[in-house]
Chain A
């Protein structure tokens, strides 16, 4: 038997005392968890909105509303005329659409950061 193993004492410690108000405390814990889940939902919602607004603001700041609308129209047209999925991806990533890709990446990064902040390991 090592100096830190004591089966007699371990056996005594393994028998928990039955303490009062267990049901009340259990209910409080579950209520707290429900609130935690709700807060997490709010955080993720806020992160999603922020992740959408920030890239959009950057886009508007860089190309302006008329430029943005023109880019959307151009993108839609290019999608309509593309014959293959690969060419669509290339078109999206090409020149003026690089900004879109960067915005999407920013959105994903912000969402992941927000999710980690509310769900730490």
Chain B
């Protein structure tokens, strides 16, 4: 019988996964997958590429699950792994030019936050590729400006201005009060 792991703490699930328990890791995947896919698409990855990178990210995460310290949500840890993989792949594909920007918006559901998400994804599509990437990584994956500068191999000032400009544009599009 497959145990019900839906109420199990992420720290315990990670410990079980580190011992090779696939069901425990499956539960972690179930919980974090929407966040990982959303982030990759918001960064600008085409749906197929986003899912491809998502898979690679989970394989990498399973190999290094013992290093997950449960200091934050598992989804946050996964998002950073996936974001780094996307950056590496994009850098390999075309140095400093972020490829395969998707105009496809995620399919929506009927819950109350759906309208916000449509707005966010539509607003993101209006940003430049660099702004979109920096804003998504900063607000969606919790990267600091310093971390972003290192990951993207860009000057710190450039990263800060991408985040600032992108955030301002997003706030204006979403009509958020300053």
| B 140-178 contacts with A by CB, 8 A | 140, 144-145, 160, 163-164, 167, 170-171, 174, 176
Residue picked from A17, A20, A120, most chain B C-beta under 10 Å: A17
**What is the chain B residue whose CB lies nearest that of A120?**
B63
> Once the chains bind, are A22 and B34 in contact (CB under 8 Å)?
yes
| Contact between chains at A32 and B55 (CB < 8 Å) | yes
Docked-complex contact B55 and A16, CB < 8 angstroms: no
Nearest CB of A to B175, in Å: 11
Q: Are A9's CB and B54's CB within 8 A? A: no
Residues of A within 8 A of B64 (CB): 120-121
Residues of B in contact with A (beta carbons under 8 Å apart): 20, 22, 25-26, 29-30, 33-35, 37-39, 41-42, 47, 51, 54-55, 58-59, 62-64, 67, 106-109, 111, 113, 116-117, 120-121, 135-136, 138-140, 144-145, 160, 163-164, 167, 170-171, 174, 176
Given contacts A16-B35, A17-B41, 7 further A-B contacts (CB under 8 A): A18-B34, A18-B106, A22-B37, A25-B54, A29-B29, A32-B55, A120-B63
Find out whether the CB atom of B116 lies under 8 angstroms from the CB atom of A29: no
In the complex, A36 Cα to B61 Cα: how many Å? 12
Contacts of A14 in B (CB 8 A): 140
Identify whether the interface residues of B are mostly helix, strand, loop, or mixed.
Answer: helix
Asked if residues A9 and B170 are in contact (CB atoms below 8 Å), the reply is yes
Q: Which A residues lie within 8 Å of B107 (CB)?
A: 17-20
Is A22 in contact with B59, judged by CB distance below 8 angstroms? no
Q: Complex formed: what's the CA distance from A15 to B26 in Å?
A: 21
B80 shortest CB reach to chain A, Å = 13
Residues of B within 8 A of A10 (CB): 139
Tell me, yes or no, whether A28 is within 8 Å of chain B by CB.
yes
